[in-house]
Structure 1
Amino acid sequence: MDNGEIWRLDAAEQSTLTRAGDLSVVETVQSAIDRMYALNPTLNAIVEDLSVQALDRADFLDAARARGEPTGPLHGVPVTIKVNVDQKGHATTNGVVALKDVIAPDDAPVVTNLLNAGAVVIGRTNTPEFSFRADTDNPLYGRTHNPWGRHISPGGSSGGAGVAVMTGMCALAHGNDIGGSLRFPAAANGAVTVKPGLGRVPAWNPSQKAERGLLAQSMSVQGLITRSAADLNLAMPSLIAHDPRDPFHVPLPWRPENTGTPLKVAFTKNTFGYALHPEVEKALDTARDALIDAGYAVEEVEPPDVFECGRIGYRALMGEVLTLMKGDVEAAGSQTIQQIFATYFQEFPPIEGQDLIQALGQRSQYAREWSLFLEDYPLVLSPFLPQPFFKPDRDTEGAEGVHEVLGCAVYSYAMNYLGLPAACVPARLANLPQGLQPINVQIASRRWREDMAVDAAAAIESRVGRMSDHLWNKLDVPN
């Protein structure tokens, strides 16, 4: 392969070649950097260029391998880190102008684990202010654009990550998810991800001045956005490595136990009164058929109430946000983000005081109902969003906009409240009046069984193909 085309390889392919010595890390990293230089000025996915440091590390890894030192599973794989997570010596801005000089004293566990596995960080990716939008724009770095077209939001809050990995600027993109921030960008860009369950990936920012709220701790998780499900199976075992700085991390292997076949899958198209777009329904049907052909036992059956659980969960989160974050948003946030938060509080009336304490207790009931259901049906295939992905700045258009962006996304944030894993994978490329647009579906799984969800995503991907291949055909001249 021509050196200029190495960026096309998946992370699994890159690591196989670099570990064998058939490809140098310098060549691999340089190809990603060249791709970043070609596309990023138009797309604004990577907001801090670390190419100089990346090439130094690439030299180091090549030399270490030449000396016969062992190589990690991600040896030489170009990755990006989201700007809301600590990377030693770099600003953890969270997309906020007032935080532009908050320099991390050390790496967060997720960064440490990626580096220990041999990955090479080439840049840091964009996020909205406070990482609390499903779209990506902020006064510090500006807007990130979706490579499929300016009519589609890039998603958020890991919008820069989704764009970077899908366009070939990196092979793996770090992101995080408190209500959908891995899955929204995956759906917007046609990428693959799995939102890990509670405690699966160690998390902590050494730069933080105070501990986060209890719901923020339990609903927010660290993860990766990739172009293929195989790359999740490659990289996630490294991401979940134990780190004692997270006292609630659960040090289980990626595949805790063997599973019998066929796995039963609960299949639902229920969108709780929100209109189900025909293209989303076609994507669901394709995903169902792919799983059946792969040997899964798919049954159309309703899981426990997602709508009530999701809405209560997000209202509880808004109660915590109102108490712990509102002052920061008012002090350091733009007028745009302040208006969006005001609308969030309308869409999800915050649960406060004694009601919040009771809601937190009720969380166990919802989780128990799901735990029992998943004993019979280890996987749940559902819509991610009921409609194709929304346009940029839709959440700035008042109550109707926020309702379309987040109000209908109950399958997303319900999984955060429950602490369950949920993969998001493209199942259709829709030809809409605005242009081509990927449509993703969601696969939730048993607690600690992210691998089950990823395997199911791989089965769907084997039927549909990688969306990146279609995207690259239209990226000869970025739009």
Structure 2
Amino acid sequence: MTDTPLWQLSATDLAARARNGDISAEASVQAAVDRMRAVNPALNAVVVDTGDDALERARALDKARKGGATPGTLHGVAVTIKINVDQKGQATSNGMPALKDMIAADDAPLVKNLQDAGAVVIGRTNTPELSFRADTDNPLFGRTHNPWGHHISAGGSSGGAGSAVMAGIGALAHGNDIGGSLRFPAAANGAVTVKPGLGRVPAWNPSQKAERGMLAQSMSVQGLLVRKAADLHTAMPAMIAPDARDPFHAPLPWRGEDLDWPIRVGFTRETYGFDLHPEVNAALEAARDALNDAGYIVEEVTPPCMPEVAQEGYRALLTEVSHLMKADIEAIGSDTIKAIFAEYFRQFPPFEEMDYLKVIARRTYYSREWARQQERFPLMLTPFLPQPFFSPDRDTEGAEGVREVLGAALWSYSMNFMGLPAGNLPARLSVLPQGPVPIGVQIVGRRWREDLVVDAMCAIEDRLGALATQLWQRMD
């Protein structure tokens, strides 16, 4: 045992101690709830406090354990859930005032899976309207702040989740990602995540009135933000448990077959017309050197089909959005979100019908070309954003603002379009004139090999360190 406060421990450590009986689930959850109530007022990361219910659940878990029940793999670990996913008895508001009273009658599969493993939900985290910005602010709950300071956006759309987990509000934070909504907050706040690939985590909202479009179904995935990469190995196996409500879920184990060692990693600095900032380049080189030191073979390569796959993929998604969501945006969206979407549509113009069908067909070609390269290079180390993370509300500043926030994120939404797993972790903490800014890098993996991505992130983190301790020293 150590004197480290429980809220500072990783999910892996907390689960192990609670399962062994060294600490109670109640003590673990109480520490997380106390931390939430101490620091969240300054962050607005958690917008629905479920701490009292969480403590009741934790006490029930302790009672069951004493009665002989086998504790789950996440026994007593505090988690937050994003407000765009159904949690029984809570509003799935998606940051929209018009949806503030849409109470979920049942849990989404991922919420059930986490709770079945013993995790305890302490609160619900903020998102921008419709979860379609890389910055987190909305008319219902307001802005979420980055714990590193107000000079840097908390990212989006899982900005509340990223801010919360790095501030010590729970060891696990649920988020989702249709074009970067797990990886943007990871990069902004210095957290670690892996965007799962197509079909990995069962997804469905019982409250939804209609099925989502094909690309929304295939590009949007559910995942976790954490402070330590190894926590993804601990928690993601619970997330991927099958659920019949998602008929396209791929019921595969978390761990795939062992590959011949050393594993080859493709490496690129290419940013396709956007300037690569020296601090981002330094982060890429640090991650590359860490992988080399860990025994990986890192070679510079030319990624296939870039940037076409990114540009066509996001235009295809916005084609779907224009047909299936535009009426809702106009009917219930704020002036801010309407203006941002108008700029999205200008920079990524929706396709006409035949061109859309051709792009959907080319999606298979793009994915095949990547799969062929991944036979030799199972992993790829890439930039995430070409510049250090942007300031709050940058995407409200017209064409240049949206271009910096979203247009430059080619390495993000390309992976959603192809359905490939992609992780993000900090490889550098830059001290810029405006203040400290984490610099994240991305690791792309073979289809259904999130485990390889997380292994590589663990190797980098072992050598470069995590950022949470430095952040807490600043906060306290």
Query: TM-score by structure 2 length?
Result: 0.99
Work out whether 1:425 is the aligned partner of 2:440: no
1:239-254 → structure 2 map (5 Å cutoff): 239-254=239-254
Residues 1:403 and 2:403 are matched in the alignment: yes
- Give the Cα separation in 1 of the matches to 2:184 and 2:70: 37
Q: Equivalent residues in 2 for 1:80-479 (5 A)?
A: 80-476=80-476
For residues 82 and 235 of structure 2, what CA distance do their matches in structure 1 show? Answer: 17
Deviates more, 1:352-361 or 1:198-207: 352-361
Amino acid at match of 2:19: R
Which residue in 1 is equivalent to 2:13? 13
Distance 2:272 2:359 in 1: 21
Could you list the runs of 5+ residues in structure 2 that have no partner in the other structure? Answer: none
Displacement of 1:105 after TM fit?
1.1
SS in 1 for 2:179: coil
Task: Name the SS for the 2:170 alignment partner.
Answer: coil
Structure 2 distance, partners of 1:221, 1:472, is 30
Give CA deviations for 1:289-313 in whole Å, capped at 9, x if unaligned.
Answer: 0000101010011111321100000
For each residue in 1:153-177, what CA deviation from the matched residue of structure 2 results, as whole angstroms up to 9, or x when unmatched?
0000000000110010110000000
Show CA shifts across 1:171-218 (max 9, x none).
Answer: 000000000000000000000000000000000000000000100000
Per the alignment, residue 55 of structure 2 pairs with 55
CA distance in 2, matches of 1:187, 1:4: 26
In structure 1, C-alpha distance between the alignment counterparts of 2:359 and 2:382, rounded to whole Å: 25
Q: What is the CA–CA distance in structure 1 between the aligned matches of 2:256 and 2:299, rounded to whole Å?
A: 25
| Identity value in percent | 65
What residue identity is the alignment partner of 1:293? D
Q: Give the RMSD, CA atoms, in angstroms.
A: 0.9
One-letter code aligned to 2:151: H
CA separation in 2, counterparts of 1:4 and 1:257? 36
How far 1:355 sits from its partner (Å)? 1.2
Unaligned runs of 5+ in 1: none
CA drift at 1:3:
8.4
The Cα shift of 1:358 comes to 1.3
Verify the 8 A CA contact 1:3 1:31 in the aligned structure 2.
Answer: no
Distance across 1 between alignment mates of 2:348 and 2:464: 36
Structure 1 counterpart SS, 2:475: coil
- What amino acid maps onto 2:462 in structure 1? S
Deviation by residue 1:92-148 (Cα, 9 ceiling, x = unmatched):
000000001111111000001000100000000000000000000000000000010
CA contact (8 A) 1:40 1:46 kept: yes
Q: What's the secondary structure of 2:431's corresponding residue?
A: strand
Letter in 1 for 2:243: D
Q: Deviations over 1:371-399 (max 9, x none)?
A: 11111100000100000000000000011
What is the SS of the residue equivalent to 1:68? coil
The answer to whether the 8 Å contact 1:129/1:138 transfers is yes
Name the CA distance, whole Å, in 2 between partners of 1:126 and 1:389. 19
Deviation of the 1:2 alpha carbon? 8.1
Native 8 Å contact 1:380 1:443 kept in 2 = yes
- What is the identity, as a one-letter code, of the residue corresponding to 1:203? A
Q: Secondary structure at the match of 2:244?
A: coil
The amino acid of 1:441's aligned partner reads V
Amino acid across the alignment from 1:322: S
Contact 1:316 1:352 in 2 (8 A): no
Instruction: Confirm or deny: 8 A CA contact 1:14 1:76 kept in the other structure.
Output: yes
SS at structure 1 position matched to 2:5: helix
**Aligned-partner Cα distance in 2 for 1:108–1:290:** 38
Aligned residues: 476
Distance in 1, matches of 2:259 and 2:311, equals 32
Equivalent AA in structure 1 for residue 460 of structure 2: I
Where 2:122 maps in the other structure, the secondary structure is: strand
Cα distance in 2 for residues equivalent to 1:326 and 1:88? 28
More off after superposition, 35-44 vs 300-309: 300-309
Q: Secondary structure at the match of 1:298?
A: strand
TM-score (norm 1): 0.98
Deviation at 1:347, TM superposition (A): 1.1
Consecutive aligned runs of 4 or more in structure 1 exceeding 6 Å deviation: 1-4
**Contact 1:382 / 1:443 at 8 angstroms: preserved in 2?**
yes
SS in 1 for 2:202: coil
Secondary structure of 1:443 counterpart: strand
Q: Secondary structure at the match of 1:474?
A: helix
